């Protein structure tokens, strides 16, 4: 019965997408193209390396559309955008997923995407997760899911020392928290970059954020190569049993660290967070724009949105889609994360990373 419901539901959503494929398209300023969307029997989907959905769900999309679907993964979000730019004259696919708000501005600015407004995206989600600064309709990137990067704490480590768990970014630089924080490298890690951007959102893009990092360095912050090394090797509150009781991770991480008492052994510093939104878009010059639009609508269907938390450990953008029970109980809701407009990130990202590297890594 569940399988039948999924098939019927997806068929309805894909039918809706088909009806919208030739209409409800909002162009970007200066786009005067009126050519009909391209279409073919094949669809190439470009995804980042952490993309995952059940084989059943992917097969169902292919079955309902009749398309031969190929998924290719050039790497992480930054690598994907680089590939789209380098292959602009000969696109590597039809639709892309995994560009996040740290690289959205570059993708838009490099003109590698075609406009499409999905009818499956509610207005409230469009406004809340938009890739532009004003919160208006966005036709180049469609939000699909999001995650929240935050500092996590090993509760037992602090309890054993009768030391209060820090709460704010400023707390992390205080002497009592010397040699306690490990962060992924902002130059090579997505959550590392997100945490760097949180500090820019908090302290401004002048000297304030760099001064803050100088104070963290003086206080013994450790830089790990990536999230895996930081969380599973250096962090004291997970499998690595390292020596650092504070780590940059996600607000959902405590849900995977449940102790014998049924409670999480880690907690989240809710004032240190940055929200990463992940988007899909039609690749400019695609051979199958119609199929690309259907795939974006498919990613916004109820069944796919409900599958995203289990397979990609991120939140769905469609309201009221259920998330794992442990998330409801143990993942704190972050209503006001630090933020930096996508256009500012695009304009300054490389300079910021270089400045960060010079100050923190040396």
- Residue 280: per-residue pLDDT: 97
**Continuous segment of H or E residues that includes residue 10:** helix 2-20
On the question of pLDDT at 27 being above 80, the answer is: no
308: which residues sit within 8 A by CB, 6+ positions away? 53, 144, 145, 314, 315, 316
Angle between helices 289-299 and 55-65 (to 10 degrees): 140
CA angle 103, 54, 130 (to 5 degrees): 30
pLDDT band at 252; cut points 50, 70, 90: very high
pTM higher than 0.85 for the full model?
no
pLDDT confidence of residue 26: 40
pLDDT of residue 28: 41
Mean of the per-residue pLDDT values for the chain? Answer: 89
Taking CA atoms, 317 is separated from 79, 147, 178, 238, in Å, by 24, 10, 38, 29
Per-residue confidence band for 241, with pLDDT thresholds at 50, 70 and 90: confident
What is the rounded CA–CA span in Å between residue 326 and residue 329? 5
Share of the chain above pLDDT 70, in %: 89
Going by pLDDT thresholds of 50, 70 and 90, the confidence category of residue 6 is very low
Q: Which residues contact 350 (CB under 8 A, 6 or more apart)?
A: none
Beta bridge partners of 276: 147
Domains of the chain: 2-146+276-316 (3.40.190.10), 147-275 (3.40.190.10)
Mean predicted confidence (pLDDT) in 81-107? 94
């Amino acid at each position: 019965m569940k399988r039948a419901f999924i098939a019927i539901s997806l068929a309805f959503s894909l039918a809706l997408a088909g009806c919208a494929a030739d209409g409800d398209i909002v162009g970007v300023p200066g786009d005067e193209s009126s050519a009909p969307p391209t279409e073919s029997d094949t669809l190439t989907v470009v995804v980042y390396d952490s993309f995952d959905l059940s084989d059943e769900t992917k097969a169902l999309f292919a079955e309902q559309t009749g398309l031969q679907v190929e998924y290719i993964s050039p790497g992480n979000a930054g690598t994907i955008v680089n590939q789209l730019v380098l292959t602009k004259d000969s696109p590597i696919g039809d639709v892309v997923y995994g560009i996040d708000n740290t690289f959205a501005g570059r993708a838009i600015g490099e003109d590698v995407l075609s406009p499409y407004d999905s009818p499956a995206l509610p207005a409230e989600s469009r406004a809340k997760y938009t890739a532009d600064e004003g919160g208006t309709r966005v036709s180049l990137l469609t939000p699909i899911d999001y995650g929240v990067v935050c500092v996590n704490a090993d509760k037992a480590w602090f309890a054993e020392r009768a030391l209060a768990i820090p709460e704010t970014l400023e707390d992390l630089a205080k002497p009592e928290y010397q040699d306690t924080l490990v962060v992924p490298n902002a130059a090579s890690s997505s959550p590392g970059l997100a945490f760097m951007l949180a500090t820019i959102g908090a302290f401004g893009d002048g000297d304030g954020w760099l001064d803050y990092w100088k104070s963290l360095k003086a206080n013994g912050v450790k830089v790990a190569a990536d999230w895996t090394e930081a969380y599973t090797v250096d962090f004291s509150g997970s499998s690595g049993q390292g020596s650092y009781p504070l780590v940059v991770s996600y607000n959902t991480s405590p849900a995977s660290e449940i102790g014998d008492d049924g409670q999480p052994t880690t907690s989240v510093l809710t004032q240190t967070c940055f929200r990463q939104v992940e988007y899909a878009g039609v690749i400019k010059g695609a051979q199958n724009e119609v199929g690309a639009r259907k795939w974006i609508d498919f990613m916004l269907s109820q069944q796919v949105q409900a599958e995203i938390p289990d397979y990609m450990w991120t939140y769905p953008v469609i309201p009221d889609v259920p998330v794992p029970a442990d998330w409801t109980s143990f993942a704190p809701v972050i209503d006001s994360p630090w933020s930096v407009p996508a256009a500012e990130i695009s304009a300054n990202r490389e300079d910021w990373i270089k400045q960060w590297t010079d100050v923190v890594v040396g």
